[in-house]
Amino acid sequence: MNQNRFVTDKVNILSHKPPFAVAHFDADAFFTSVEQAADRRLRNRPVAVGGGRRGIIACASYEARAKGIYTPMPTSQARQRCPELIILPGRFELYEEFSQNVFGLCRDITPTVEQTSIDEGYLDLTSTQGTNPSHIIKRLRKLDEDILGWLKITVSQGLGANKLISQIASKLHKPHGFMAVPAGRERAFLATLPLQNLPGIGPRTLQRLTDCGFARIGDLLTCPQEELQPILGKRTEPIRQMARGEDDRRILPEAPPAQSMSQQKTFAADQEEEAVVCREAKILLADLLTRLREQNKQARTLSLRLRYCDWETSERHESLDEPSDLESDFLPLLPSLLRRCWQRRVRIRLLAVKLDNFYPSFEQTKLWPDQTSRRRKLARAMDQINHQYGPHTLHHGFRFP
Ligand SMILES: [Mg+2]
């Protein structure tokens, strides 16, 4: 990665008067950047994280992208396309450590930081000391220098009056980009951008809009509303609001849905049977995994918490080497985790299961149906049946050893 490229050449301030309320940052090619930061020999070389059980590329360095490697691409195809590609299995603990350091540096700027994924988040700039725009830009530049100097990775930053604008701005000049859109300039800023820059527009909607002759975000506002109604339906007004650059979502520091997911059960009668408690843990875990798949996320860490009938609690956790959203990966952890957690010979009144260390789902492509993708397909089919006929109509077989 070109480390001499500082943010100054990317600053694009359309007006300097009004203050900026939100900054969005997004680390560039995060997994491979961390690998390159941790091992000097990998720098400036085509690197990808992937392979292993998964059979797909989960992240490609910019050097690899220049040679046609993208995410998600079957590893075998990537090897063919770029024989010198260095494919690494992924060290997720290391990525989480880097992530914590990045967010730690962000909290030096403002106490109100919302983490939306391992390498993306929002900073509330209204809670910093002083809202002078040049002062804010200086502080964000310092943040960029600190991340690059200390962690040897780059992030792209966007500034705006709200979450929507700052997020779109941060993605425009990757890698190591910086763009500021002052309040009042949102509509002009969005007008000429291609439709796919608007986060609410998925591939299917995009196709339908393109088929009807829409190309730029501004087109959504210049046409009469009746033209959009048949394509967007109920979403017409919310999407037009976005096209105007309006967004009143607040920044939620430590937003629980982004950080972890948990479910608990209080037993009707205090339990002493290991098999019963383990079966209950399995049911709670299955519910969490269904929710995880619905949100297109994967998790790496499973925690169990018990409350004994004398109200003492005990908690243990265990992490997979790679994030997953499948029962076949998490269920085998349960028995040993339960035994480590349930140390006293005392009955249990409450059991809680938690998943955390979230990642976006590295969905398999259909081109490469390996065992993991077949299992995911099965899990999704079971989710659908359980959704239609009631929870736990079908569940994964699991024998408690
Ligand atoms: Mg990123």
Please give the radius of gyration of the chain, using alpha carbons only, rounded to the nearest integer: 24
Q: Is pLDDT above 80 for 240?
A: yes
Q: Is pLDDT above 50 for 9?
A: no
Domains and CATH numbers, the chain: 7-27+93-188 (3.30.70.270), 31-92 (3.40.1170.60), 197-243 (no CATH), 256-387 (3.30.1490.100)
Determine if residue 320 is left, alpha or beta; phi over 0 gives left, psi from -120 to 50 gives alpha, anything else beta. beta
Which pLDDT score, from 0 to 100, does residue 12 have?
45
Residue 274 half-sphere exposure toward CB, CA atoms < 13 A = 15
Beta strands 348-360 and 57-60, pairing class: unpaired
Which pLDDT score, from 0 to 100, does residue 401 have?
60
Q: Is pLDDT above 60 for 193?
A: yes
Which positions are catalytic?
120
Q: pLDDT tens digits, residue range 248-266?
A: 999 988 654 457 899 999 9
Which pLDDT score, from 0 to 100, does residue 134 have?
85
Which pLDDT score, from 0 to 100, does residue 14 have?
47
Beta strands 178-180 and 155-160, pairing class: parallel
Going from the Cα of 119 to the center of ligand 1, the distance in angstroms, rounded, reads 5
Which DSSP symbol is given to 3? Answer: T
Going from the Cα of 118 to the center of ligand 1, the distance in angstroms, rounded, reads 8
Work out the pLDDT band at 280, boundaries 50, 70, 90: very high
Nearest to 303 by CA among 286, 318, 321: 318
How far apart CA 55 and CA 185 sit, in angstroms, is 44
Which pLDDT score, from 0 to 100, does residue 400 have?
60
Q: Which residue has the higher pLDDT, 214 or 6?
A: 214
130-152 average pLDDT score: 89
319-342 average pLDDT score: 92
What percent of the chain clears pLDDT 90, i.e. is strictly above it?
Answer: 65
Q: Is pLDDT above 70 for 4?
A: no
Which pLDDT score, from 0 to 100, does residue 343 have?
93
Which pLDDT score, from 0 to 100, does residue 53 have?
61
Q: Which residue has the tokens 């007004």?
A: 237
How far apart CA 133 and CA 136 sit, in angstroms, is 5
142-168 average pLDDT score: 95
User: Mean pLDDT over all residues of the chain?
Assistant: 88
Going from the Cα of 171 to the center of ligand 1, the distance in angstroms, rounded, reads 9
Contact 160, 22 (CB under 8 A): yes
Going from the Cα of 49 to the center of ligand 1, the distance in angstroms, rounded, reads 14
Q: Tell me the two tokens of residue 15.
A: 């007006």
Q: How far is CA 121 from CA 13, 115, 124, 155, 373, in A?
A: 22, 4, 10, 11, 29
Which DSSP symbol is given to 66? Answer: T
Work out the pLDDT band at 8, boundaries 50, 70, 90: very low
Q: Tell me the two tokens of residue 76.
A: 């075998």
Q: pLDDT tens digits, residue range 36-76?
A: 999 999 999 999 998 666 678 999 999 999 999 998 888 88
Q: Which residue has the higher pLDDT, 360 or 36?
A: 36
Going from the Cα of 11 to the center of ligand 1, the distance in angstroms, rounded, reads 20
- Find the largest Cα–Cα distance for the chain: 70
How far apart CA 160 and CA 186 sit, in angstroms, is 8
Going from the Cα of 65 to the center of ligand 1, the distance in angstroms, rounded, reads 14
| pTM exceeding 0.85 | no
